[in-house]
């Protein structure tokens, strides 16, 4: 793996960095207070190619690859983590349609997702009673004479109230009468779709998270994405890629906390000198920077492997997500410690970062699930 960035990767990184600095960071605290969904910023990001970084140019994507995508999420997360997760889910939804959709589905949905006509797409896998055990879902699509009838309930749907298309996983029955899992593209405005109230979360207030109920929603045959029964594998493959996105988001949040803590440490004076001159603070800064760099390398490796498309990268993606989210949580915690009492107030951004980062150890598979994915792969290889 070559760890120097090519021209495209550097350009995407720089574009995202400038946008995060000029457009996102200055508004992040007020967006957090108002919990306002960042419609305008997302439209601008679509214009910059950030809503489909690893999507083909024919569908309006930047066609810049997975490493560039990860670099972009790291930068956007430094500006506003809530915007980064919205971006990451949109990219993931677009990639699922690109990889498994028919040409009609690709042409219908992807340019709208990458070009900003849709503010976002949504990934509807989890349910009130089915989280880590994704295969235990109860949402069901019954075959009808001219399509499907979808009923059930999904939970924790990122961007669900603003999505242009919902990817919905549901149980279906195969010709032998056995249950399997299939995937459908659902119009959020269809009759029978009810979008719930936004969840009141600890952090990432400007990202929208809702439950969605489906009551006998009529779907045509061409709503099926991929083959019948292929849904679970598609979900797992999508989450392998999604976990690179969450690892990247966590790194961005950790880096932002580090930068805030370092800036404070060189300004703040106690006992007649800068607190950055005390070894207690220096060791904290050194540990945060080292762990985030290790997380970055793990994440770049997973992104690079995905880009090669030569072998599965589940283990590496799970390692990246596990390590990056835990390192970023430690970074935010230590950043608050460096800022002392000020870090515990909303006057300084580390309080928000601490709230924003916590969920990276939970969503797109809890870190306990990441350990299961890693361990199963290690045992398989033995």
Task: Give the SS3 label for residue 132.
Answer: coil
Site membership for ligand CAA, residue 363 (CB under 6 A)? yes
Question: Which of 32, 240, 256, 291 touches ligand CAA by CB under 6 A?
Answer: 240
Residues in the chain: 382
Q: How far is the CB of 314 from ligand CAA (least distance, A)?
A: 4
Q: How far apart (Å, rounded) are the C-alpha atoms in residues 164 and 166?
A: 7
Q: Which residue is nearest to ligand CAA (CB)?
A: 365
Under 8 Å CB-to-CB from 378, ≥6 apart: which residues?
315
Q: How far apart (Å, rounded) are the C-alpha atoms in residues 85 and 157?
A: 12
Q: How far is the CB of 90 from ligand CAA (least distance, A)?
A: 11
**What are residue 130's phi and psi, to 5 degrees?**
-140, 100
Q: How far apart (Å, rounded) are the C-alpha atoms in residues 34 and 36?
A: 5
Kindly list the catalytic residues. Answer: 364
**What are residue 97's phi and psi, to 5 degrees?**
-70, -40
Question: Which of 94, 314, 325, 334 touches ligand CAA by CB under 6 A?
Answer: 314
- Contact code string over 83-102 relative to ligand CAA, x by CB under 6 A: --x---x-------------
Name the pairing type of β-strands 140-144 and 147-158.
antiparallel
Q: How far is the CB of 355 from ligand CAA (least distance, A)?
A: 16
Q: How far is the CB of 121 from ligand CAA (least distance, A)?
A: 11
Q: How far is the CB of 280 from ligand CAA (least distance, A)?
A: 36
On whether the CB atoms of residues 288 and 331 are closer than 8 A, the answer is yes
- Contact code string over 116-135 relative to ligand CAA, x by CB under 6 A: -------x-xx-----xxxx
Which of the residues 141 through 170 are near ligand CAA (CB under 6 A)? 158
Q: How far apart (Å, rounded) are the C-alpha atoms in residues 15 and 281?
A: 33
Q: How far is the CB of 169 from ligand CAA (least distance, A)?
A: 10
On whether the CB atoms of residues 347 and 284 are closer than 8 A, the answer is no
Please say which residue, 250 or 335, places its beta carbon nearer to ligand CAA.
250
Site membership for ligand CAA, residue 239 (CB under 6 A)? yes
Span near ligand CAA by CB under 6 A; candidates 169-177, 191-199, 229-237, 337-345 = 229-237
Span near ligand CAA by CB under 6 A; candidates 49-57, 167-175, 181-189, 228-236 = 228-236
Neighbours of 62 (CB within 10 A): 23
Q: How far apart (Å, rounded) are the C-alpha atoms in residues 300 and 130?
A: 31
Task: Give the SS3 label for residue 170.
Answer: strand
CA-CA-CA-CA torsion sign (301, 367, 232, 71): negative
Number of residues that bind ligand CAA (CB under 6 A): 23
Q: How far is the CB of 248 from ligand CAA (least distance, A)?
A: 13
Question: Which of 187, 344, 372, 377 touches ligand CAA by CB under 6 A?
Answer: 372
Q: How far apart (Å, rounded) are the C-alpha atoms in residues 217 and 195?
A: 13
Q: How far apart (Å, rounded) are the C-alpha atoms in residues 119 and 102?
A: 22
Which of the residues 45 through 74 are near ligand CAA (CB under 6 A)? none
Neighbours of 15 (CB within 10 A): 20
Please say which residue, 54 or 126, places its beta carbon nearer to ligand CAA.
126
Question: Which of 14, 232, 297, 371 touches ligand CAA by CB under 6 A?
Answer: 232
Q: Which residues of the chain form contacts with ligand CAA (CB under 6 A)?
A: 85, 89, 123, 125-126, 132-135, 158, 232-233, 236-237, 239-240, 314, 363-365, 369, 372-373
């Amino acid at each position: 793996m070559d760890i120097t960035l090519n021209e495209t990767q550097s350009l995407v990184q720089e574009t995202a960095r400038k946008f995060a600095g000029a457009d996102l960071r200055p508004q992040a605290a007020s967006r957090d207070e108002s919990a306002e969904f960042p419609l305008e910023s997302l439209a601008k990001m679509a214009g910059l190619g950030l809503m489909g970084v690893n999507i083909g140019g024919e569908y309006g994507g930047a066609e810049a690859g997975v490493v560039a995508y990860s670099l972009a999420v790291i930068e956007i997360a430094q500006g506003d983590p809530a915007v980064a997760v919205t971006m990451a889910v949109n990219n993931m939804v677009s990639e699922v349609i690109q990889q498994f959709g028919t040409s009609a589905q690709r042409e219908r949905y992807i340019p709208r997702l990458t070009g900003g006509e849709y503010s976002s797409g949504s990934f509807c896998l989890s349910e009130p009673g089915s989280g880590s055990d994704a295969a235990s879902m109860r949402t069901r699509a019954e075959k009808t004479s001219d399509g499907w009838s979808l009923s059930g309930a999904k939970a924790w749907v990122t961007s669900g109230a603003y999505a242009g298309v919902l990817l919905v996983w549901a149980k279906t029955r195969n010709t032998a009468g056995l249950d399997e899992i299939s995937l459908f593209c659902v119009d959020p405005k269809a009759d029978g779709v009810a979008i719930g109230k936004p969840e009141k979360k600890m952090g990432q207030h400007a990202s929208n998270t809702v439950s969605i109920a489906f009551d006998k929603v009529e779907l045509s045959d061409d709503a099926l994405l991929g083959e019948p029964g292929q849904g679970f594998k598609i979900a797992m493959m999508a989450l392998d890629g999604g976990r690179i996105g969450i690892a990247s988001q966590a790194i961005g949040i950790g880096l932002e906390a580090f930068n805030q803590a370092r800036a404070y440490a060189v300004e703040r004076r106690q006992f007649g000198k800068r607190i950055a001159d005390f070894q207690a603070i220096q060791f904290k800064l050194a540990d945060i920077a080292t762990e985030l760099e290790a997380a970055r390398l793990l994440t770049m490796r997973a992104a690079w492997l995905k880009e090669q498309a030569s072998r599965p990268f589940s283990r590496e993606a799970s390692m990246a997500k596990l390590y990056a989210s835990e390192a970023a949580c430690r970074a935010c915690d230590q950043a608050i410690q460096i800022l002392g009492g000020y870090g515990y107030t909303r006057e300084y951004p580390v309080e928000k970062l601490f709230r924003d980062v916590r969920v990276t150890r939970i969503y797109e598979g809890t870190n306990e699930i990441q350990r299961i994915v890693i361990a199963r792969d290690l045992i398989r290889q033995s």
